[in-house]
């Protein structure tokens, strides 16, 4: 997922005037901006049939997500490392009239995949509804400009389109993040939209009908507390694709390395993949604690309350890289990641700390080549 130097430069200046500063560099460019060169190269080489209003064919969308090399030698970097069939099913779903639900435990790249799918299909990943406990129905359906409403009464000029409404009118892909965080009665406002492809506006005696190309990508997980289960009526409107945790340690190391390298470049941090040994160590610790057994299968261990996801591993390594850059020699070392691992593992100060200390003393202490890491863990409180 490393951007070319040209992509990085282009992405850094997207956004025009931000806060009154023209040409300000954005911290995190949208997928369609960060990977504009790859999307353009794919569009130029793509001679396969495209569904209505799609920027790329389903084959090209899958290639954009999974990576590959085009006939002209252009390298498409992988955005998702995992089973190819999962992405193919997701892309195929979007080419039908069924909405797509990306389901998985926290940290399985649901949001990342959602964003890149929307960027490749519609060229715009910003038609987004962010689900929270306070998300109102207006965020999914429509709202009103109250100044216009009070002055002139209900009218199309007073109507404020939601991202979903815009996607329906323009034949684009809308995204709904953390669908199960949204209150159940608000979730159900999607039922008519997904089944009838229509959004009634009773105040005006009108309706918005979806044009060809419209679809919805939603993400959800069932591991966090405080979620609102989907009604059976709403769940039937989605084709559910489950994104699994990385199957092997090597796959997870690859994912973490790629993402950390990309984040490190955007933050101008030195080092990056020079710390591959520490990345491998972080992934090993997370996988063992997640699975409840050491990598060799010989020792059973207790699992803490946290998910210890790939996303958290990326965060730990990125933070360690920043420590190494600003307070070290720029090379990622055991002391740079130890405190981050402690913070990720110990969510319950009582139970998780005991589990972590036991793991450090029974596994880390006895493992060859891990003496520096053991000392670093002891120094931060293990």
For residues 352 and 345, give the distance between their C-alpha atoms in angstroms, rounded to a whole number: 7
260-301 per-position pLDDT tens digit = 888 888 777 765 555 788 999 999 999 999 999 999 999 999
Choose the final residue of a domain: 242, 269, 292: 242
**Residue 70: predicted pLDDT:** 95
Over residues 370-379, the pLDDT tens digits come to 999 999 999 9
pTM, whole model, 2 decimals? 0.86
pLDDT at 354: 94
Residue 227 has pLDDT above 80, yes or no: no
Cβ atoms within 10 Å of 182's Cβ, excluding its own: 30
| Nearest one of 201, 116, 213, 126 to 169, comparing CA atoms | 213
Whole-number pLDDT of residue 19: 42
Distance CA 215, CA 95 (A): 9
Q: How many domains does the chain have?
A: 2
**Sign of the CA dihedral 328, 331, 335, 341?**
positive
Q: What is the pLDDT of residue 228?
A: 84
Residue 11 above 60 pLDDT?
A: no
Residue 308 within a domain: yes
The pLDDT-based confidence of 25 (bands split at 50, 70, 90) is confident
- Check whether 193 has a pLDDT greater than 80: yes
In this model, does residue 206 exceed pLDDT 90?
Answer: yes
pLDDT greater than 70 at residue 239: yes
What CA–CA distances, in Å, run from 65 to 20, 48, 76, 89, 262? 35, 17, 9, 12, 16
pLDDT band at 20 (very low <50, low <70, confident <90, very high): very low
Query: In this structure, are 100 and 184 located in the same domain?
Result: yes
Q: Can you tell me the distance from the alpha carbon of 308 to that of 352, in angstroms, rounded to the nearest whole number? A: 12
Q: In the chain, pLDDT over 70 holds for what percent of residues?
A: 91
Residue after which a domain boundary falls, among 191, 214, 242: 242
Burial class (CB in 10 A: 0-12, 13-18, 19+), 369: exposed
Say yes or no to pLDDT of 14 above 90: no
pLDDT-wise least confident of 54-58, 145-149, 161-165, 326-330? 326-330
Mark whether 234 and 347 lie in a shared domain: no
Q: In the predicted model, is pLDDT for residue 237 greater than 70? A: yes
* Same domain for 261 and 219: no
Tell whether 325 is covered by a domain: yes
Q: Percent of the chain at pLDDT above 90?
A: 75
Q: Is residue 310 part of a domain?
A: yes
* Shared domain check, 362 and 254: yes
pLDDT digits (tens, 9 = 90+) for 109-132: 999 999 999 999 999 999 999 999
In a domain, residue 210? The reply is: yes
Do residues 253 and 347 share a domain?
Answer: yes
How sure is the predictor about 6, in pLDDT bands with cuts at 50, 70 and 90?
very low
Q: What is the pLDDT of residue 24?
A: 53
Tokens of 368: 């060859």
Residues 100 and 120 in one domain: yes
Examine the pLDDT at 9 and tell me if it is beyond 60: no
Do the Cβ atoms of 198 and 208 come closer than 8 Å? yes
| Domain termination site, one of 226, 242, 258 | 242
* Domain coverage including residue 356: 249-379
pLDDT at position 18 is 39
Residue 26, pLDDT score: 81
Q: Rounded CA gap, 230 and 197, in Å?
A: 19
Task: Report whether pLDDT(28) > 90.
Answer: no
């Amino acid at each position: 997922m490393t951007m070319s130097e040209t992509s990085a430069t282009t992405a850094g200046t997207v956004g025009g005037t931000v806060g009154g500063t023209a040409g300000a560099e954005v911290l995190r460019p949208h997928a369609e901006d960060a990977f504009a060169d790859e999307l353009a190269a794919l569009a130029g080489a793509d001679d396969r049939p495209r569904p209505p209003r799609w920027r790329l064919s389903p084959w090209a969308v899958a290639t954009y997500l999974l990576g590959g090399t085009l006939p002209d030698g252009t390298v498409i970097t992988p955005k998702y490392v995992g089973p190819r069939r999962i992405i193919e099913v997701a892309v195929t779903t979007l080419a039908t009239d069924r909405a797509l639900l990306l389901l998985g435990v926290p940290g399985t790249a649901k949001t990342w995949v959602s964003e890149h799918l929307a960027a490749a299909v519609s060229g715009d990943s910003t038609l987004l509804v962010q689900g929270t406990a306070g998300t109102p129905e207006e965020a999914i359906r429509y709202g009103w400009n109250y100044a216009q409403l009070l002055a002139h009464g209900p009218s199309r000029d007073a109507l404020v389109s939601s991202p979903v409404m815009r996607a329906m009118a323009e034949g684009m892909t809308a995204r709904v993040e953390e669908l199960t965080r949204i209150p159940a009665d608000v979730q159900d406002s999607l039922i008519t939209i997904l089944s009838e492809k229509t959004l009634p506006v009773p105040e005006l005696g009108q309706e918005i009908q979806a044009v060809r190309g419209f679809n919805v990508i939603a993400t959800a997980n069932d591991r966090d507390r405080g979620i609102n289960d989907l009604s059976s009526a709403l769940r039937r409107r989605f084709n559910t694709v489950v994104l699994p945790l990385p199957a092997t340690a090597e796959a997870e190391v690859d994912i973490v390395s790629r993402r950390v390298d990309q984040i490190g470049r955007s933050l101008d941090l030195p080092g990056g993949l020079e710390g591959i040994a520490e990345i491998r160590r972080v992934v090993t610790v997370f996988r063992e604690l997640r699975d409840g057994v050491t990598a060799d299968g010989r020792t059973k261990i207790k699992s803490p309350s946290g998910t210890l996801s790939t996303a958290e591993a990326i965060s730990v390594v990125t933070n360690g890289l920043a420590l190494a850059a600003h307070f070290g020699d720029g090379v990622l070392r055991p002391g740079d990641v130890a405190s981050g691992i402690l913070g990720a593992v110990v969510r319950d100060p009582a139970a998780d700390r005991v589990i972590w200390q036991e793991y450090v003393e029974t596994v880390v202490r006895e493992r060859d080549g891990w003496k520096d890491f053991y000392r670093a863990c002891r120094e931060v409180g293990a």
